[in-house]
Amino acid sequence: MAEIVWSEPALSDLDAIADYIALEDPAAASELVRRVFSHVEQLAEHPESGSRPSELKRSRYRQIVEPPCRVFYRHDGNRGFILHVLRSERLLRKERLASRARRPKT
């Protein structure tokens, strides 16, 4: 079983998305956060279950999708590092993910 480690930037990303949704529907924002955390928890048992992001061919990074979010992560066998959360309709900028991967919080 892999330990799941959320980076501060990834938590901030999710918080910003939830804040925006909460402007119109606070209950939907809370439900989204619950669904994202639930989906990410499954990575502890199945760390390779995420797909490879189309923007990053042949990369060590993976993603899981919990609409309207894409959650980017990498794993080292013992731990899964949640690096970035992005709205599904946005494309990932490779340099943003790489800078977060260098300094995950433990």
Decide if 6 contacts 82 (C-beta within 8 A).
yes
Residues 51-99 have pLDDT tens digits of 998 887 778 899 999 999 999 999 988 999 999 999 987 666 666 666 6
Q: Does domain 3-99 have CATH number 3.40.30.10?
A: no
Its pTM stands at 0.83
* Range 8-33 average pLDDT: 97
CA 18 – CA 25 distance, rounded (Å): 10
Name the strands in the sheet holding 69-75, side by side, starting at the edge strand that comes first in the sequence.
3-6, 79-87, 69-75, 62-66
Token pair, residue 26, equals 């606070």
Residues 6+ positions from 84 with CB-CB distance below 8 Å: 7, 9, 10, 13, 71, 72, 92, 96, 97, 100
